[in-house]
Amino acid sequence: MTARNTDIEKAAGVLRAGGLVALPTETVYGLGANAEDPAAVSRIFEVKGRPPTHPLIVHIGGAEQLDDWVAEVPATARLLARHFWPGPLTLVLRRAPRVPLEATGGLETVAVRVPDHPLALELLSSFGGGITAPSANRFGSVSPTTADDVLAELGDAVDFVLDGGPCQVGVESTIVDVTGDVPAVLRPGGVTRENLEAVLGYPPEVPSASGVRVPGQHPSHYAPRARVVLVEPGQVIADAELAQERGHRVGVLLPPSLADAPVKAHAVVPVPQSMAAYARGLYGYLRRLDQRGCDLVVASLPPEEGLGLAIANRLRRAAGPRTPA
Ligand code: TXA
Ligand code: MG
* Nearest residue (CA) to ligand 1, atom 24: 55
CA dihedral 36, 39, 44, 48 (to 10 degrees): 160
Please report whether residue 214 resides in a domain: no
Residue 211 predicted with pLDDT over 80: no
Q: What's the confidence (pLDDT) of residue 62?
A: 98
Q: How many whole angstroms separate alpha carbon 48 and alpha carbon 66?
A: 27
pLDDT at position 212 is: 43
The whole-angstrom separation of Cα 254 and Cα 252 is 6
Name the domain count of the chain. 2
* Same-domain status, 161 and 241: no
Q: Tell me how many degrees the CA angle 65-45-148 measures, rounded to the nearest 5.
A: 85
Mean pLDDT (whole number) for 87-96: 98
159/234 same-domain check = no
CA atoms in the 13 A half-sphere facing the CB of 114:
20
Does 325 reside within a domain?
no
Residue 51 identity: P
CA torsion through residues 102, 104, 108, 112, sign: negative
User: Average of pLDDT values for 173-182?
Assistant: 97
- Phi and psi based region of residue 105 (left: phi greater than 0; alpha: psi -120 to 50; beta: remaining): left
What's the CA-to-centroid distance between 189 and ligand 1, angstroms? 11
Mean pLDDT for 286-299 is 98
Distance, CA 185 to ligand 2 centroid (Å)? Answer: 16
Q: Is 249 helix (H, G, I), strand (E, B) or coil?
A: coil
Q: Based on the domain organization, do 67 and 196 belong to the same domain?
A: yes
CA of 175 to the centre of ligand 1 (A): 7
Task: Name the average pLDDT for the chain.
Answer: 94
Task: Mark whether 146 and 287 lie in a shared domain.
Answer: no
Residues 178 and 264 in one domain: no
Which atom of ligand 1 lies at the shortest distance from residue 216's CA? 19
Which runs of E-coded beta strand occur in 70-171? 89-94, 109-113, 131-132, 160-161
Same structural domain, 130 and 94: yes
Nearest-atom number in ligand 1 for the CA of 31 is: 6
Please give the distance of CA 218 from its chain centroid, rounded to a whole number.
Answer: 14
Considering only CA atoms, which of 147, 173, 146, 3 is closest in space to residue 90? 173
Task: Please give the average per-residue pLDDT across 282-303, as a whole number.
Answer: 98
pLDDT: is 4 or 38 the higher one?
38
Q: Is residue 208 part of a domain?
A: no
Rounded Cα distance between 184 and 177, Å, is 5
Tell me how far the alpha carbon of residue 106 is from its chain's centroid.
Answer: 21
Contact residues of ligand 1, CB 6 A cut-off: 25, 27-28, 30, 54-57, 88, 90, 92, 104, 107, 109-111, 115, 133-135, 172-173, 175, 186, 214-217
Which of 102, 175, 221 gets mutated to test ligand 1 (max ligand atoms within 8 A of its CB)?
175
Domain membership of residue 163 as a residue range = 3-200
Q: What was the pLDDT predicted at 85?
A: 98
CA distance 125 to 133: 16
Residues 187 and 238 in one domain: no
CATH number reported for the structural domain that contains residue 289 in this entry: 3.40.50.11030
Whichever domain contains 126, its CATH number is 3.90.870.10
How does DSSP assign 65-80, residue by residue? GHHHHBS---HHHHHH
